[in-house]
Structure 1
C-alpha cells in the first residue's frame, strides 16, 4: 500500500499572503506613475493652489498681485447735480450780523440787508483731477497733480430791505451762482486693510478760486451781488470704509476774498459792492466738505457731498447807505449738496 503525503498550508498564512499582494500592487502602480514626473523634475500644483499662483516659464510658482482699491489714477472726472442755498446779511457799525441783532431795538439804526434763497439754486458742477505721475515707480511723486472745477446754478430769491422807515415788501429776484477753481495738489497715499488692501490719502491743495453771485439789475432791486477772486489753501482726507464706500472730508481757508472790483468805466454795479458800505474792506473765509464716494462698476463711481463756504467782510469808512458812517459787517454763506457720477482712467 502506497501512502501519499500532501503539505497543508494553514489558512491564516494564505490570508496574510493575499493581503500583502493586494497592498504591493497599488504601491508599484504609484511608483510607475511618479517616475515620469521625477524624470522631468516638476510636480503639478494642487487644484486649489492654482487659483492664487501662476507659473513662470521655468515652471516655478509666482504669486499674482491684485490692484489695490483706491489706487491713484491719471484722470478723475466728476459731473454732479448741485443744489445751493445762499444767505447774506449786512449790518452797519458792528463786527458781525449777530452783534447787531443782539442790540436793543432803539440802537439798531441804519440800513440793513438780508438775502435768502427761497429755493435752492439748481445747477451743474464739473471737476477734473489730473495726476500725470500716478503710475510712477517713485511713490513720493505719485500724488502730484492739478484740480480744476466749475459750478453754475440758477434760481430766484426773496429780498427784503430794512431801514429807519421800516421794512420793504419782499421782492423776488432771479440770480445766478458761479464758481471756478484751479489748484495744485499733492496727496500722500497709505495702505488700509489686510484682506484686500485699499488706499486712502491725506493731501493739500493751493491755488485760485472765484465766487460770483449775480442778481438781476432792475429799478426796483437796489441790491447788488458779490464777485470775489482769491487764493485758497485746503487739506483733504479720504479713508476707505468698505470696498465700495470711502469717507471724504476737507477743510480750507479763503485768503482775503474781498468783494467788488475796480469801478468800471461806466460806473458799473460791481463798484457798489464796497461803496455802499464803506471806503475799504477786509475779508476772510473758510470752506468745509463731508461726503462719501465709491465704485459702481469698472471705471465708474459715485460721489455725494455736502459743502459749505462762508465769507465775512469788515468794512471801514463812510458808505453811501444810511447809517454806514463808520463801516460795518457783511456775511455770506453758501450751502451746497452735490450728487455726482465719477469716471476714472
Structure 2
C-alpha cells in the first residue's frame, strides 16, 4: 500500500495574516519581557537623580549626602551700618561713679565729669573672617582662622562739667569713635539634624583691639577723649534656630585697657587722660554681643546685633583737677546697634 502525504497551502489574505502572526509572536514575547508592569499611584523622580554614581560594597548605589546648612566658609565679609551711644563719668576719691553719687551731698567734693551722647554716632563697620582650611571637613584645623574689623562713627555730644563752683552750661561738641580689631580664632563645629543637617559652633578669639574716642579740641572744652590699645580674649557661640536664621552670642575680656596708651603727635594731649586724674591708672573691661544672622539669597545674608563695651579705670596718686588728691574712678560704656549685609565665599 502506498501512502500519499499532502500539505494544505494557504493563499490570498488568509495566508498573509498567518505569516504576520507568525513573525510578530517572538517580538511580542520580547516585549513582555522588556515592558514593566502598569504603574499605579504617584510617579517618583528617576532614582539616578538622588544617587551618587558608583556602588557600595553590597552593590547598591550610595545616597548623596544632604548639603549641610551653616557649614564654614573660607571668607566672610560683613558691612554694617552702626549707631553708637557713649557714656562717660569720672569721680574723685572713690572706686566707682555709683559710690560717689551715693555720698551725702556735702561729701561730694571735687571736679566731676559726665559725658553722654545726645545723638547716636552714625558710621560704618567692616569685618572680615578668614578660615583658610574651612573646606576640609575631616581636618581638626578647619576652624582655625583670623578676624579683622574696623569701625568709625561721627556725632555731636553734650558735655557738662561739675565742680565746687557749680555746674557749667551744657556744651555741644563734635566727636568721633574709632575701633580696630585683629584677632586669631578657632572654632569647633557641631552638627545636628538628620533630614537637613545644620551646623553651629563654639569658638575662642585672642588678639589686639583699639578704641579711640576723640573730642573736638577748643578753649571752652577742657575734656579730652580716651585712646586705648589692649589685648583681648573672647568666646563665641552660634546656634541655628531655623534653616535661615542663626542666634549669635559672644562675651570677652579686655586685658588692661588703660587710657592714654597711644603716642601723641600734638605735644602730649593724650597724657591728660591720666594726668588730670592721678599719676597712674589700672583698668579692666568687658564686651558682650547678641544678634541674629540669616540667609537672603545665594552667598548673601544679613546681620543684626547689639554690642556693649565697658571700661573701668582706677586712678591713684594726685591729679591736676580739683579734689583729685588721691585718685578716683572713671567709667566708659559704648552701646552699639549693627545692621548690615554678609557675603561669603
Structure 2: how far apart are the matches of 1:27 and 1:139? 59
Deviations 1:247-279 (A, max 9, x none): 000000000000013775763310100000000
Deviations 1:130-173 (A, max 9, x none): 00010124331110000000000000000000000000000000
**Which residue matches 1:116?**
116
**Compared CA separation, residues 39 and 338, structure 1 to 2 (3 A):** closer
**Which residue matches 1:184?**
184
Please say which of residues 119-128 and 33-42 is displaced more in the overlay: 33-42
Structure 2: how far apart are the matches of 1:146 and 1:153? 24
Residue 52 of structure 1 aligns to a residue in which SS?
strand
Structure 2: how far apart are the matches of 1:323 and 1:54? 83
Q: Is the 8 A contact 2:51 2:64 kept in 1?
A: no
**Compared CA separation, residues 11 and 211, structure 1 to 2 (3 A):** farther
**Compared CA separation, residues 62 and 336, structure 1 to 2 (3 A):** same
List alignment gaps of at least 5 residues for structure 2: none
Structure 2: how far apart are the matches of 1:89 and 1:97? 7
Q: Is the 8 A contact 2:51 2:63 kept in 1?
A: no
**Compared CA separation, residues 317 and 39, structure 1 to 2 (3 A):** closer
Correspondence 1:61 to 2:74: no
Structure 2: how far apart are the matches of 1:23 and 1:316? 113
Number of residue equivalences:
345
**Compared CA separation, residues 268 and 97, structure 1 to 2 (3 A):** same
**TM-score normalised according to structure 2 size:** 0.85
Structure 2: how far apart are the matches of 1:119 and 1:287? 22
Q: Is the 8 A contact 1:54 1:63 kept in 2?
A: no
Please say which of residues 175-184 and 260-269 is displaced more in the overlay: 260-269
Q: Is the 8 A contact 1:93 1:329 kept in 2?
A: yes
Structure 2: how far apart are the matches of 1:164 and 1:282? 27
Please say which of residues 316-325 and 191-200 is displaced more in the overlay: 191-200
Please say which of residues 187-196 and 166-175 is displaced more in the overlay: 187-196
**Compared CA separation, residues 20 and 50, structure 1 to 2 (3 A):** farther
**Compared CA separation, residues 241 and 262, structure 1 to 2 (3 A):** closer
**Compared CA separation, residues 315 and 48, structure 1 to 2 (3 A):** same
Kindly state the Cα deviation for residue 64 of structure 1 after the two structures are TM-superposed. Answer: 1.6
**Compared CA separation, residues 88 and 11, structure 1 to 2 (3 A):** farther
Q: Is the 8 A contact 1:53 1:63 kept in 2?
A: no
Q: Is the 8 A contact 2:50 2:64 kept in 1?
A: no
Q: Is the 8 A contact 1:55 1:61 kept in 2?
A: yes
**TM-score normalised according to structure 1 size:** 0.85
